[in-house]
Structure 1
Amino acid sequence: MTEGPLLSLAGVHTHIGQYHILQGIDLEVPRGGMTVLLGRNGAGKTTTLKTIMGLLAPSQGEVRFRGQPIGGRRPHANARDGIAYVPEDMGIFAGLTVKENMTLAAREGAFSADRLDWLLTLFPALRKFWESPAGVLSGGQKQMLSIARAMIEPRDLLLIDEPTKGLAPAIITAMIDAFRELKRSETTVLLVEQNFLFASSLGDTVAVVDDGRTVHRGTMAELTADAELQERLLGLSLEGHS
């Protein structure tokens, strides 16, 4: 096995048209556990995920996965290499059943029955609505389907963009429980999240982005314990927000 972080970004810049969005992202995602990417709206978090996945090409800097450069590589090649991306807009097919959505997400339309059973245990609502159109699911259930689709095959790295956005507190609590189970597997997660209760409950390591640059890297425990650091980096206290 290659030593070092599973994923690393060094001095990454990304342009979208004439706009210089990322202006120096440095990030390391250790193998196993969850790394959380925090920052204000518009800081560059989603652009960072899209650059890793290959949906955007970096204009400068280096993206490495398992020690190998992948910056600018096409998304399908990254998917074949074990990276999955769950976008903020979920990307599910509302007119297809839950089963059909899951089948489409699996290469060649086949998946392990044991893995499917594990996923349906993580997200029991999907079992209940297995033969129903995905469009009838609630917002939280659609988010669960989106995550399950990305996990239908074993992945080394899961990129997830704001899974709790717009969800009710009870659904967020259920999502925390599901992610705790996910952390017991060997999947490494890089999570963009605005809900700080969710982030601090699950994160192992954290990076904070501001104006397209990495301004802090460390452990989530360190950030959670330091209200002054939270205020300086994020303009708020984690313990006062959920």
Structure 2
Amino acid sequence: MTELLTLSGVHTHIGRYHILQGVDAVVPQGQTTMLLGRNGAGKTTTLRTIMGLWPASSGTITLAGRRIDAMATPDIARLGVGYVPETMAVFSDLTVKENLVLAARGGPPDGERLQWIFGFFPALRKFWLSRAGALSGGQKQMLSIARAIVEPRQLLLIDEPTKGLAPAIVGALIDCFAELKRSGATILLVEQNFHAAREIGDRVLVMDNGRIVHRGDMAELTDDVALQERLLGLSLESHQ
């Protein structure tokens, strides 16, 4: 198991609040690692710290053996890290096409890659020349994810992609992530929909109070209701 991303003793302060309190985590290359935990555990802060949006107060973050904890966000992105925030960040005044053209750092989006994306998210083809701000919430989430995967990335950081979405759209997202996983992509994914987590997760990290309190195979957590209730306060079956 090759380690692509490693966090060692990472602390993050936001103002006077000490959010991450010594995070130690490994994200294996070519696998989907789920980052689970109760609300307020520090999951979003972890992703934002990796991406350089909130600087780590101490500790180290390495990507493919290279330290990135002191790097600026644009430089981290240039290393091939894609980020999908839970806020569904898109450029509202630009069209769907323009959003994807901007996200493709290597030049115009590859036509074959676009057709692959449209297979999961046909609404993006339909609204290709429409303003992103006019899309529904689910369509904006599709566009946000499409922006991150419009070209191959070394690492994808994805924060609660299924939050508030209709079941049909959730199903399309699960299919998309499963295909990304089959293609060898490395994903660190925060998710509250445990059906989705169970379907696409290879590994799992569970956070509590700014620390990783459990690490292991997703299948192990899926099969152990007592462990689920101890770590998450509920069983996966009761939280679909």
What TM-score bracket applies, with the shorter chain setting the length? over 0.9
Shift of 1:129: 1.1
Partner of 2:170: 172
Partner of 1:223: 221
SS in 1 for 2:179: helix
Shift of 1:16: 0.7
Partner of 1:190: 188
Coordinate RMSD, CA, aligned: 1.3
- Asked if residue 39 in structure 1 is aligned to residue 37 in structure 2, the reply is yes
Q: Distance in 1 between matches of 2:138 and 2:175?
A: 14
**Contact 1:156–1:186 (CA under 8 A) maintained in structure 2:** no
Shift of 1:141: 1.4
Q: Distance in 2 between matches of 1:72 and 1:65?
A: 12
**Normalization by structure 2: what TM-score?**
0.96
Q: Distance in 1 between matches of 2:191 and 2:81?
A: 19
- What per-residue deviation string (whole Å, max 9, x for no partner) do you get for residues 180-204 of structure 1? 1221222211001111111111100
- Asked if residue 133 in structure 1 is aligned to residue 131 in structure 2, the reply is yes
Shift of 1:72: 2.3
**Normalization by structure 1: what TM-score?**
0.95
Shift of 1:95: 2.2
Q: Distance in 2 between matches of 1:107 and 1:67?
A: 23
- What per-residue deviation string (whole Å, max 9, x for no partner) do you get for residues 82-102 of structure 1? 111111111102222111111
Shift of 1:136: 2.5
Q: Number of paired residues?
A: 240
Q: Distance in 2 between matches of 1:91 and 1:20?
A: 26
Structure 1 window deviating more from structure 2 (112-121 vs 44-53): it is 112-121
Q: Distance in 1 between matches of 2:158 and 2:108?
A: 23
SS in 2 for 1:6: strand
Partner of 1:77: 75
Structure 1 window deviating more from structure 2 (29-38 vs 170-179): it is 170-179
Identity over aligned residues, as a percent?
65
Shift of 1:108: 6.3
The code of the aligned residue for 1:114 comes to E
Shift of 1:109: 4.9
- What per-residue deviation string (whole Å, max 9, x for no partner) do you get for residues 38-58 of structure 1? 011111000000110111111
Q: Distance in 2 between matches of 1:230 and 1:193?
A: 15
Gaps of 5+ in 1: none
